[in-house]
Amino acid sequence: MEEFDLGIVGGGPAGYTAALHAASIGQKVVLFEKDEIGGVCLNKGCIPTKAILHSSEIYKQIKNSEELGISVTDVKLDYKKVVLRKNQIIEKLRKGIELALKNVGVTVVKSEATISTNNEISANNETYNCKKIICATGSSPRVIKGLEFDGKFLISSDDILNLEELPKSILIVGSGAIGLEWARIMSNFGVNTTVVELAPHLLPLADVEVSKRIERIFKTAKIPFYTNTSVKNIEGKQVTLSNDSVLNVDKILVATGRTPNLKQEKIDGVEYLGDVAGEIQLAHFAIKQALESVENIPFRKDFTPSVIYGTPEIAWVGKREQDLGAGSYQKSVTLISSLGKAHCDNETDGFIKILSQEDRIAGVHIVSKEASALLQQVLIAMQNDISVTKLKEVCFAHPTYSEGIFEGLFKLN
């Protein structure tokens, strides 16, 4: 029986991060992965979706470039090449992670593994003894009764990545990150796209002003959506909604969340990290969990940023306005259309909303180009308890989107 300091089941962001960092500080590590290193994020989630999203945005920009003084004729879309590029990106990044694991001496076992006890893992009819075990087996698309995946008409976020041709029309059930990003992708490519959301607003986890702005953006983009609505019945390719609207679509993407890949009862003494832990199902949250576990680097779970990609980006961290009591906070909203850089980029939609309490930033909600990068500036201040008063002393470059944060600090009241 081979012995290790650390055994990890699952090679996604939590698993490979834990493996790399444990090995770098001298631990003997074994990592088990039954599919591909990189997990959902690299192979079936974040990375492939963003690669396709980028292609869709370039396509849309080219088709609408005349107002920028650029005329382009005979614009053609070859979706097979879009998918090929996506696959090449995945392969390149995966090889990078695999090489990094090899270079620090991690033993990688390409096999399904079973955690037998808090010190033993079984795989390929062998037993591996480990002083510590991490389970990081990720998650899978959630199955909804009546909307079970068939891989052809009713598809998951895994299935949609494998399409070789775009449908002419698609219904997207759910308006979280997956639903909104694929709605943008499909719409950008010219697919007739409709979104159905059971909650009262799109992106229900966001600040309500963000949700309302996204709804306005979707209306402008002519992406029909229904809130407070579910799928009532499906006959062939005809879909009847709970509001009695009838749609005929080529595909239905069911994007209603993900379910932890936990095939056995949790074992005391085993750490569960990433999506399988059933907390925040985000790759960067999983990475921070791994760093906390292996190198004891703490982090604030309540300061985990959320980002929805596309144009404009949507990003937030901290408290939402609907979570705060009346009169207990200060608020500022800076319109992106007030920023010179936004006009130069032809990206004027959105706002930067800052919420503060007792001279500290309590929450930030951004709809803007570069929102994901803007958010980190404020998050660093929040993490380090830097006051609003002190932040006003910082010199922000011009012209930038960051100026919107600077302006917002002075509007707090």
30: β partners: 7, 107
8 A C-beta contact, residue 208 and residue 320: yes
Which residue is it, tokens 């449908």?
Answer: 167
Separation of alpha carbons 222 and 199, rounded Å:
20
Separation of alpha carbons 175 and 196, rounded Å:
7
- How would you list the strands of the sheet with 169-173, edge to edge? 154-155, 251-254, 169-173, 192-196, 225-226
CA angle 303, 309, 310 (to 5 degrees): 150
8 A C-beta contact, residue 188 and residue 286: no
Read off the tokens for 53. Answer: 């999203």
Separation of alpha carbons 402 and 338, rounded Å:
12
**Secondary structure of residue 132 in the 3-state scheme:** strand
φ/ψ of residue 328, rounded to 5? -95, 5
From the list 54, 201, 284, 398, the catalytic residue is 398
Read off the tokens for 382. Answer: 């929040």
**Secondary structure of residue 138 in the 3-state scheme:** coil
**Any catalytic annotation for residue 398?**
yes
Residue type, 137: T
CA distance from start to end of the chain: 65
Residue 325: DSSP 8-state: P
Separation of alpha carbons 84 and 274, rounded Å:
29
Separation of alpha carbons 272 and 41, rounded Å:
17
Catalytic (active-site) positions: 398
